Amino acid sequence: MARSRYHFGDPGQPHFLTTTVVEWLPVFTRRQTVDILFDSWKYLQENDQFRLYGFVILENHLHVVAQSDNLPETWTRFKSYTARKLIDFLEQHHLELFLKQMRTTGKAGRRDRSYQFWQEGSHPQMMENRKMLVQKLEYIHQNPVKRGYVAEAEHWLWSSARNYAEMESPVQVFMEW
């Protein structure tokens, strides 16, 4: 698998990121797996000046608009940590079908891990202005609506649309730019 052709712009600027589970496996159908992502974001917010402007988590991928002092490094740490925790969860719950797909999907000859959880790359797109940021947030929030999962964006429990509608959400977002 070739490295992504997408690159981060200014690492201190907000970026739109997409991160996908290998083989588009539907891992995020349980609250426990989604909580691993939320817990990681909370940790990064408290310890790494991570600003999360918006997010949506669907069954096999997520979209975010985020920023930190060094977003490429922060996002790599996020993916590495969550991959380890999610693989541990899959092993503990004997979800062998997922593990088998992750085992066979990984790069041939890799000796640093047995499984690959996330697809390579995150397709970063730097937010050049507020208008672009708002457009990406609208796209993120409408994902579950367009898929027919919910009638209103804020009804999707794993979306920052809830934050913007001033509803309870498991993780806070930064609403200023």
Q: Burial level of 160, CB count in 10 A (0-12/13-18/19+)?
A: buried
Confidence of residue 138 (pLDDT cuts 50, 70, 90): very high
Give 59-109 pLDDT, tens digit per residue.
Answer: 999 999 999 999 999 999 999 999 999 999 999 999 999 999 999 655 555
Dist. CA 129–CA 147, nearest whole Å: 28
pLDDT over threshold 60, residue 110: no
Closest CA to 70 of 85, 50, 54, 92: 50
Q: What's the whole-number mean pLDDT along residues 117-123? A: 91
Residue pair 163/151 in contact by the 8 Å Cβ criterion = no
pTM to 2 decimals?
0.91
